[in-house]
Homo-oligomer: A and B are copies of this chain.
Amino acid sequence: MTNNKRPLILISNDDGVNAKGIRELVGFLRPLADLVVMAPDAPRSGFACSITCHEPVSYKLVRQEPGLTVYQCSGTPTDCVKLAFYSVLEREPDLVVGGINHGDNSSVNVHYSGTMGVVIEGCLRGFPSIGFSLCDHELDADFTPLKDYVQRITQKVLDEGLPPLTCLNVNFPKASAFQGIKVCQQAKGLWEKEWIPRQEAEHVYDMAGEFRDTDPEEERNDHWALRHGYVAITPVTVDATDYEMIRRMKTWF
């Protein structure tokens, strides 16, 4: 039975429905809202906003109890959100949440992240959307220190909403306690040493990489905040237009 007085949150991720991060997130958010989870049936890290154009996508119910329904889906994180809206949500959610990701989605990783794919999709559909990520890739990462912050940030967005086209990318440093919250800019920089050649075969590579901050001392950046023990909230716009460049191009053609 759905209680229409309680908020409804749609949850997905890119680490898969069985990842510790999404299970912890469900535990943190159950006191705040009814939850519907539609998450990939296997890990799909680095899937960005990808969609499945040329193959069928399916889902199935894996758990149902008062205030919580869980589905797993064969598609990408973005497919999960699209299919949840199309097929399983009985009313519009108050919020779409991605995570909690096992690993850092700050800085340029916003472009590669399947967790942020969930969030961008929620935002493009017109719903307040938040991504939560912990800078710890381990399967058994400790999410406990995040609980109060996840609840506080989620409640704030449930109360205040978010402007159209704006979503939040929230990253937590790996730590047992945090210095507080910083609202940040996306750090500038780039991945280097991105591939490791396989020894046994020519022209075969595994992805790796080291991130180089091009402006590491800039205190407004999410990387700086994370390195200094803060929870970094980077507001993200899904309007990719470069308005300044429109002005510059007036004389081009």
Contacts and interface: CB of A to CB of B under 8 A. Distances in A.
Contact of A252 (B156, B188, B201): B156
A163 interface: yes
Given A57-B204, A252-B156, A246 B183 contact: yes
Interface centre among A49, A54, A162, A246 (most CB of B within 10 A): A49
A35 B188 CA distance: 29
Quick one: copies of this chain in the complex? 2
A6 interface: no
B47 A243 contact: no
B117 A48 contact: yes
B51 A245 contact: no
A160 B251 CA distance: 12
Nearest to A45: B53
A242 B188 CA distance: 14
Interface string A107-144: 01011101001001000111000000000000000000
A18 interface: no
A111 B238 contact: yes
Contacts of A194: 82, 86
A204 B52 CA distance: 13
A233 B249 contact: yes
Interface in A140-161: 152, 156, 160
B195 A58 contact: no
Contact of A110 (B190, B240, B248): B240
A60 interface: yes
Interface string A214-253: 0000000000000000000111111111111110111011
Given A43-B54, A48-B49, 5 more contacts: A45-B53, A48-B48, A51-B207, A156-B253, A237-B241
Given A201-B58, A239-B186, A53 B207 contact: yes
Closest 8 CB pairs of A and B: A235-B245, A48-B48, A237-B242, A235-B242, A48-B49, A46-B51, A46-B53, A58-B204
